[in-house]
Amino acid sequence: MNKNLWMRDIKVIPFLLPFLVVYIIFTILPVFKGLEMSFYDWSLIRKIEFVGFENYQKMLFDPHFWRSLWNTTLFVILTTPTMVLLALGLALLANLNSKLKTFFRTAFFLPSILSVAVISFLAIFMLQPYTGLLNTGLHSIGIEAEPFWMADKILSWVSIVVVTLWWSVGFNMVLFLAALQEIPESLYEASEIDGATRWEQFRYITIPQLIPIGRVVILLQILASYKVFAQILLITGGGPAGGTRPLIQYIYEVGFTQNNMGYAATMSYALFYILLIISIIQLRSQRLKES
Amino acid sequence: MKKNSVLDRNRDPLRNVKKAIGLVVAIIFIFPIIWMLFVSLKPDGFSTTNPLDWFTPPFTIANYIDLLLNSMILRWVFNSFIVALITTVLTLFITSLAAFAISQMKFRYKNIIYIFFLVGLMIPGEATIIPLYEIAKNLNLIDSYAGLILPMIASPIGVIILKSFFDSVPKEVIESAIMDGCSYFKLYYKIVLPLAKPALAAIAIFTFIGSWNDFLWPYLSILSETLYTLPVGLPVFNSTYSQAYVLPMTANAIASLPVIIVFLFFEKQIVKGISFTGIKG
């Protein structure tokens, strides 16, 4: 009996093994390796010595850690509501009954397929002072200001958020658009017979029907925004004076520039827990939706 | 349906206003991309303080030829393409095999293994990148194509999507094939895979674009200029110019045109793919 089971199960090995090996080495193992590294003084070259909770202690009292975690959180706070509302608005436009709707959808989505390197340098060349497209445009319509879009404390955040919205809102828009197209036509027909106005239809049919996908979009957006790194690194370099530096950039600098992989791994763990909690909430709410 | 939409059209007094807003927003969205293409066509060294000058002749494609022949850009295009292609093929291969096993084969601990795959969905790559670097270093994968490809191919979401597709293959088809003495490999290759073409296509497109645009991992793991992918090479290239616009924009255009073309060809599948996975490529 047992031998038969083995004979049966052995057939599955060639199917499962390739995925399993790669998955364990590159997805599962790093979680444990990271935990190990966080208890060591560990350089780019080698493991140096066991230091217990020293890295964790350091993290708790490291103002740069808290500053960059706050910057990342600020980015989440700024981008999540704007992204979700803009995505909803764009989805409504792309769902208009018009010949233009395919063009709208294409236009709104197009930036999100571009590389972060490309969109960052497009932003830099548009926003840089004296010669950038935006400032020269302002000059040509008679506004003689010279805003430093990427170096001013507040404007740099505005620039990063606007560029990120432009770049990645298309993805959320598509999620809303799919949900809009799934709302049964009969709901609108029935309400029309009852004499509902357009606004009432929107308020009492469209919005409630979009709440489940809205929840998914919000959580996916929080998750994505917590991982922010490349566009900030490339556009402001984390400046001015660390004012926009996100957590992942700080982790990178500690690991690769300051040659302290142990401490970098410790801070990665902090990020890991934040993201893990958010994804558990997300899976929960998706399950709720399905049941 | 048709009649209803005509009715709709007459009923909404704000329709034209909404269309106008949509048009303005759509133009704002594509404007930077259009600008990039126009700048890339200006003669090298061109500079202006009047924004309108970017959009008027003279135009030339000399920059494209210049960059493709005399810079590292073509090499980086090649690297990005090879890495994205191999990543896509391997992802499809190993995820479809695993999904087939979970969906169609009987074996012990199947549920545990499937849950083990699901766990991967909750592990964010960005938060494990430091230990991943350490592991890649120990396996001698730093600064190599293999190092760019291997960590990216075991995609749990791919397994989940394909499993749900394979699940919907009619039981009778599978059973009659097995009755005819069809081996599992034949069943996988001849029957189940062809039926899952739409899902495979969606995963392929996402994996390809995702790999083509990936930044963080290549940025950390590639050290030599000859192995840079475009997203890593571009900033190096661009930052050697601060006030010159034409050549950097040409480089950006070279990096973008392939994905833009792929996107315009496959827009329907991409959009559909997003709404059934809900996960960014």
Tell me the pLDDT tens digit for each residue of A29-82.
999 999 999 999 999 888 889 998 999 999 999 999 999 999 999 999 999 999
**Of residues B12, B33, B238, nearest to A110 (C-beta):** B33
Of A112, A90, A104, A81, nearest to A217 by C-alpha is: A81
To the nearest whole Å, the CA of B50 is away from the closest chain A CA by 6
Cβ–Cβ contacts within 10 Å for residue A190, how many?
12
pLDDT tens track for B152-168: 999 898 998 899 889 88
Q: Would you call A140 and B50 a contact, using CB atoms and an 8 Å cutoff?
A: yes
**Which residue of B10, B94, B119, B128 is the best one to mutate when testing the A interface, meaning the one whose CB has the most A CBs within 10 A?**
B128
Q: Flag whether B242 is in a domain.
A: no
Residue B214's SS3 state is coil
Give domain status of residue A249, yes or no: yes
Contacts of B184 in chain A (CB under 8 A): 11, 15
* Number of domains, chain B: 1
**Mutation site for B-interface testing, chosen from A21, A33, A121, A287 by largest number of B Cβ within 10 Å:** A121
Give, rounded to a whole angstrom, the gap between the first and last alpha carbons of chain B: 34
- B124: containing domain: 72-231+257-277
Do residue A136 and residue B275 have CB atoms under 8 angstroms apart? no
CATH code of the domain in which B145 resides: 1.10.3720.10
Q: A199 lies in a domain? A: yes
CB–CB of A15 and B234 under 8 A? no
A110 and B5: CB-CB below 8 Å? no
Nearest Cβ partner of B25 from A19, A93, A283? A93
Cβ contacts (< 8 Å) between A128 and chain B: which residues? 242
Place of tokens 């899976």: A283
pLDDT (0 to 100) of residue B9: 45
Question: Does the pLDDT value for residue A213 go beyond 70?
Answer: yes
Bridge partners, A47 (sequence order):
A42
User: What does the DSSP 8-state code read for residue A245?
Assistant: -
Residue A97 lies in a domain: yes
A283 → chain B, closest CA residue: B122
pLDDT above 70: percentage of residues in chain A = 98
- Domain assignment present for residue B36? The answer is no
* B113 domain residue, yes or no: yes
pLDDT for B177-194, tens place per residue?
A: 888 888 888 889 888 898
The answer to whether residue A163 scores a pLDDT higher than 90 is yes
Whether residues B126 and A276 touch (CB distance < 8 A) is answered with no
Tell me if A111 and B209 make a contact (CB, 8 A cut-off). Answer: no
Does some domain include residue A227? Answer: yes
In a domain, B209, yes or no: yes
A64 inside domain? yes
Say whether B263 and A113 touch across the interface (CB within 8 A).
yes
Cβ of A93 within 8 Å of Cβ of B264? The answer is no
Alpha-carbon distance of B111 to A184, in angstroms, equals 36
Return the top range by mean pLDDT from B24-38, B53-67, B107-121: B24-38
Average pLDDT over residues B255-263: 88
Residue with the two structure tokens 């000399």: B62
CA dihedral of B210, B215, B216, B219, whole degrees rounded to 10: 140
Domain carrying residue A130: 51-290
Q: How many domains does chain A have?
A: 1
| Assigned domain for A277 exists | yes
In terms of CA atoms, which chain B residue is nearest residue A19? B94
pLDDT in the model for residue A199: 86
* CB-based contact B49 A223, cutoff 8 Å: no
Residue B33 located in a structural domain: no
Of B130, B156, B213, the CB nearest to A116: B213
A135-157 per-position pLDDT tens digit: 788 888 877 777 888 878 888 99
CATH code of the domain in which A80 resides: 1.10.3720.10
3-state DSSP assignment of residue A17: helix
pLDDT at B243 over 80: no
Which chain B positions have a beta carbon within 8 Å of A108's beta carbon?
Answer: 25-26, 29
Q: Would the CB atoms of B19 and A96 count as touching at under 8 Å?
A: yes
State yes or no: pLDDT of B2 exceeds 50. Answer: no
pLDDT single digits (tens) B5-51: 445 544 677 788 889 999 999 999 999 999 999 989 988 877 777 77
Residue B246 lies in a domain: no
Inter-chain touch A93–B47, beta carbons under 8 Å: no
pLDDT of residue B276 exceeding 80, the answer is no
Q: What is the ipTM of this complex?
A: 0.86
Q: Give alpha helix (H) positions in chain B.
A: 2-11, 15-40, 62-70, 73-104, 110-119, 129-138, 145-149, 156-167, 171-179, 184-186, 193-195, 197-213, 216-221, 230-238, 246-277
B6 against B247, higher pLDDT: B247
Tallying the residues shown for chain A, one arrives at 291
B-chain CB neighbours of A19 within 8 Å are 94-95, 97-98, 154, 159
Within a domain: residue A5? Answer: no
Asked if residue A2 is part of any domain, the answer here is no
Asked whether residue B108 is domain-assigned, the answer is: yes
Task: Tokens 């964790």: give the residue.
Answer: A56
